[in-house]
């Protein structure tokens, strides 16, 4: 599978819940991917992810370019030595377009963010992200799955078994949870509650994130929540259109980052900044302190690799900033 003449590109997507890595070849085909939980420790999870990737691909494989994305993209970029650091909207759109060049709408629901990307003729023309509310995102589903003691992987299947969804308020997670508890105490079966929850979240997404957007087919549904078949059904029910869930729905962000790295390397051939596969053995220390220069009390973060300071950021006045 691995060809020594071929060029390989790495993409890393560090989100709030999961850390994904993808390696693609020069024709943007996915070679290998890794999906692990971030568990609130982005540096550790990137190291772990790199180690897993190395174990799967072997150390001989050289990386020609690396990209990082996701909410932890800046930190990740410094750790792995990324050649390009891009936002997740662009990354997701590119990955979707590679998977299906005709795609017109991308629904992406991750751990903390949910977004809609409107694409026409292969160009992103509009996008929206959830604003001040996290209802309907992966972390809420995760929390509810925990509370009901159902493995999150089974959530969707269970929802499909029900044909009588109970009504749940999806506008706010606090309301949704109290509704769920109320319905559960009345004796409704769990599968009906879960189906009701999926429908509530789907409605909330379409009214909140998808508000005023022209949703046209083909519609792609990706991100961690796409694993939930119940959510896919909900979207099909409300949009009355077919929803495509790509095979690698969970690592689309990472694939997008890898594609960005590949395009960047094609345009500006240069030596990659990518550290090496030994990242997992390096010692990364992050430390923080509060600057007392003014009453902003900025929280400054320092990142050290094997005791050398490699990056520092966090000050509003930028006096501490240090990024190579």
Binding site for another protein (CB under 8 A): 71, 86-90, 113, 121-127, 129, 131-132, 211-214, 263, 267, 294-297, 316, 318
Q: Residues 79, 62: contact at Cβ < 8 Å?
A: no
Min CB(160)–another protein separation in Å: 33
Give 125 or 181: the residue with its C-beta nearer to another protein.
125
For residue 121, the tally of other CB atoms under 10 A from its CB is 8
Give 164 or 296: the residue with its C-beta nearer to another protein.
296
Burial of 78 (0-12, 13-18, 19+ CB in 10 A): buried
Q: How far apart are CA 157 and CA 179, in angstroms?
A: 22
Q: Which helix (H) or strand (E) holds 18?
A: strand 18-25
Min CB(131)–another protein separation in Å: 5
Give 140 or 277: the residue with its C-beta nearer to another protein.
140
Name 274's Cβ contacts closer than 8 Å, sequence gap at least 6: 10, 63, 65, 66, 80, 81, 82, 83
Give 5 or 267: the residue with its C-beta nearer to another protein.
267
Give 238 or 313: the residue with its C-beta nearer to another protein.
313
Min CB(315)–another protein separation in Å: 12
Q: How far apart are CA 137 and CA 224, in angstroms?
A: 9
Q: Which residues pair with 105 in a beta bridge?
A: 118, 219
Give 114 or 228: the residue with its C-beta nearer to another protein.
114
Min CB(260)–another protein separation in Å: 8
**Assigned token pair, 204:** 């909330």
Q: Which helix (H) or strand (E) holds 302?
A: strand 299-305
Give 129 or 309: the residue with its C-beta nearer to another protein.
129
Min CB(263)–another protein separation in Å: 7
Min CB(64)–another protein separation in Å: 18
Give 213 or 237: the residue with its C-beta nearer to another protein.
213
What is the dihedral angle through the alpha carbons of 173, 179, 180, 184, rounded to the nearest 10 degrees? 170
Min CB(117)–another protein separation in Å: 9
What angle, rounded to 10 degrees, do the helices at 138-147 and 190-208 form?
A: 170
Name 137's Cβ contacts closer than 8 Å, sequence gap at least 6: 109, 110, 111, 112, 113, 114, 130, 225
Min CB(264)–another protein separation in Å: 9
């Amino acid at each position: 599978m691995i060809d020594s003449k071929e060029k390989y590109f790495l993409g890393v997507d560090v989100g709030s819940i999961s850390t994904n890595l993808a390696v693609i070849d020069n024709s943007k085909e996915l070679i290998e991917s890794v999906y692990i939980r971030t568990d609130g420790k982005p540096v550790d999870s990137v190291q772990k992810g790199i180690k897993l990737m190395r174990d799967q691909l072997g150390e001989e494989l050289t990386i020609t370019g690396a990209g990082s994305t996701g909410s932890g993209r800046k930190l990740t970029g410094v750790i792995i030595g990324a050649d390009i650091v891009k936002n997740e909207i662009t990354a997701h759109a590119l990955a979707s377009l590679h998977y299906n060049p005709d795609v017109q709408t991308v629904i992406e629901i991750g751990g903390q963010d949910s977004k809609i990307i409107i694409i026409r003729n292969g160009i992103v023309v509009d996008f929206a992200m959830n604003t001040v509310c996290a209802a309907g995102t992966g972390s809420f589903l995760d929390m509810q799955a925990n509370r009901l003691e159902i493995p999150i992987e089974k959530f969707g299947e269970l929802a499909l078994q029900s044909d009588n969804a109970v009504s749940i308020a999806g506008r706010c997670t606090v309301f949704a949870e109290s509704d769920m508890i109320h319905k559960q105490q009345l004796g409704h079966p769990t599968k009906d509650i879960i189906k009701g929850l999926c429908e509530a979240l789907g409605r909330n997404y379409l009214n909140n994130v998808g508000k005023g957007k022209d949703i046209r087919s083909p519609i792609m549904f990706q991100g961690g929540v796409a694993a939930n078949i119940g959510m896919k059904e909900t979207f099909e029910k409300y949009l009355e259109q077919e929803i495509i869930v790509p095979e690698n729905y969970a690592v689309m962000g990472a694939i997008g980052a890898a594609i960005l790295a590949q395009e960047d390397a094609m345009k500006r051939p240069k030596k990659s900044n990518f550290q090496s596969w030994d990242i997992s053995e390096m010692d990364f220390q992050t430390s923080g302190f509060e600057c007392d220069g003014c009453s902003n009390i900025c929280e400054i973060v320092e990142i050290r690799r094997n005791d050398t300071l490699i990056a520092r950021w966090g000050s509003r006045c930028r006096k501490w900033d240090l990024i190579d």
